[in-house]
């Protein structure tokens, strides 16, 4: 496989991991590569098997998430399955948390567990506007959730029971992408960040960094020529494998696949081994301005 993927021989969710493995994983992650663990499967229990059926995967179940603070599952009408759903998602959250803390001990002081999501709907045929279409190359940036420079780290497991891989396209280095669009991104009006926060449209104030990241996200997705011509590598993550990456840095598009679990973490730039590789620092270098 090409240099966008770093394949590691990890086969359990908890350490101890060797210093060499930790170093390899950290260097790859922070350089904007996908850390792929082909031998790390997330085990679904017998009683949870019905969550992996097309009966369950209706439109209503499209975006199932678990808020770790509230312990509540949202976005599903399948209340009869809620107990098993919560159990599976909580187990995935715990496993991912263990993996990330044992693999990246340097992050311990600056990492926060965020949402868990379950994605039971086939990506092909999903209807959405281009801005929300994750089949298009993008870096993650969310209109309602400013990060003010904190990283978005995500762990994914393919739990498809019928042998189907989850296909991604992985694009060019973040800096190359950013340089194409940063000059065209609109800057916020003076009172805009305060107003959006006061109205509850954003959770806290949007920084200049967040504004630029949203702009890059939208401009890339809305540019058919970029989507067609940008360098990209196709990669299929088979069932019973796990991968992780900084999705605010790795250009990615989810092309096809069904039944995946995802766990989000936020990481402080100060906890990184090489903060200069973060999107915030890259954008500050390009623009010559402080952005948070």
Stretch that binds Fe ion, among 58-66, 140-148, 164-172, 232-240 (CB under 5 A): 140-148
Is 210 near Fe ion (CB under 5 A)?
no
Is 248 near Fe ion (CB under 5 A)?
no
Instruction: Show Cβ contacts of residue 292 under 8 Å, excluding neighbours closer than 6 positions.
Output: 148, 149, 207, 208, 209, 280
Is 166 near ligand SIN (CB under 6 A)?
yes
* From Fe ion, ligand SIN, none, interface partner of 240 (C-beta below 5 to 8 A by class): none
Indicate which single residue of 6, 140, 248, 262 sits in contact with Fe ion (rule: CB under 5 A).
140
Closer of 115 and 252 to ligand SIN (Cβ) = 252
Query: Within 10 A of 201 (CB to CB), how many other CB atoms are there?
Result: 11
Q: How far is the CB of 117 from ligand SIN (least distance, A)?
A: 8
Q: Per-residue contact track with ligand SIN, 101 to 140, x per CB under 6 A?
A: ------------------x--------------x-----x
Stretch that binds Fe ion, among 104-112, 137-145, 175-183, 215-223 (CB under 5 A): 137-145
Question: Which residue has its beta carbon closest to Fe ion?
Answer: 140
Q: Which DSSP category does 187 fall into?
A: P
Q: Quick check: helix, strand or coil at residue 243?
A: strand
CA distance 134 to 64: 16
HEC readout, 53-104: CCCCCCHHHCCEEEECCCCEEECCCCHHHHHHHHHHHHHHHHHHHHHHHHHC
Stretch that binds Fe ion, among 3-11, 15-23, 136-144, 266-274 (CB under 5 A): 136-144
Answer whether 178's CB lies under 8 Å from 282's CB.
yes
Answer whether 277's CB lies under 8 Å from 269's CB.
no
Answer whether 19's CB lies under 8 Å from 104's CB.
no
The angle at the Cα of 251, spanning 124 to 197, to the nearest 5 degrees, equals 95
Tell me the residue length of the chain: 292
Is 262 near Fe ion (CB under 5 A)?
no
Indicate which single residue of 178, 254, 272, 291 sits in contact with ligand SIN (rule: CB under 6 A).
254
Binding to Fe ion, residues 163-202 (CB under 5 A): none
Q: How far is the CB of 127 from ligand SIN (least distance, A)?
A: 16
* From ligand SIN, Fe ion, none, interface partner of 260 (C-beta below 5 to 8 A by class): ligand SIN
Q: Per-residue contact track with ligand SIN, 208 to 247, x per CB under 6 A?
A: ---------------------------------------x
How many residues of this chain bind ligand SIN (CB under 6 A)? 9
CA distance 116 to 246: 15
Closer of 171 and 193 to ligand SIN (Cβ) = 171
Q: Where are the alpha helices (DSSP H) in the chain?
A: 19-30, 82-103, 174-181, 192-198, 208-221, 224-229, 279-287
Q: Which residues bind ligand SIN (CB under 6 A)?
A: 119, 134, 140, 156, 166, 247, 252, 254, 260
């Amino acid at each position: 496989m090409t240099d966008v993927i770093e394949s590691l021989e990890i086969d359990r969710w908890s350490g101890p991991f060797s210093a060499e493995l930790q170093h390899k994983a950290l260097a790859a992650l922070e350089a904007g590569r996908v850390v792929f663990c082909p031998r790390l499967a997330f085990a679904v229990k017998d009683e949870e098997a019905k969550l992996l059926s097309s009966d369950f995967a209706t439109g209503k179940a499209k975006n199932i998430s678990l808020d770790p603070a509230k312990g509540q599952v949202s976005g599903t009408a399948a209340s009869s399955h809620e107990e098993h759903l919560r159990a599976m998602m909580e187990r995935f959250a715990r496993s991912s948390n263990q993996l990330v803390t044992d693999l990246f001990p340097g992050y311990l002081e600056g990492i926060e567990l965020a949402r868990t999501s379950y994605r039971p709907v086939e990506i092909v045929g999903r209807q959405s506007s281009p801005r929300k279409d994750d089949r298009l190359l993008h870096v993650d940036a969310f209109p309602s959730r400013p990060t003010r420079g904190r990283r978005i780290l995500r762990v994914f497991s393919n739990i498809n029971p019928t042998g189907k891989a989850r296909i991604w396209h992985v694009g060019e280095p973040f800096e190359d992408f950013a340089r194409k669009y940063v000059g065209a991104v609109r800057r916020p009006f003076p009172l805009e960040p305060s107003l959006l926060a006061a109205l509850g449209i954003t959770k806290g104030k949007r920084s200049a960094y967040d504004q630029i990241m949203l702009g890059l996200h939208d401009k890339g997705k809305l540019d058919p020529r970029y989507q067609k011509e940008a360098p990209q590598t196709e990669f299929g993550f088979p069932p019973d494998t796990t991968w992780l990456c900084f999705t605010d840095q790795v250009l990615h598009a989810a092309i096809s696949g069904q039944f995946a679990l995802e766990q989000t973490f936020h990481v402080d730039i100060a906890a990184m081994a090489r903060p200069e590789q973060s999107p915030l620092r890259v954008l500050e270098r390009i623009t010559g301005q402080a952005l948070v």
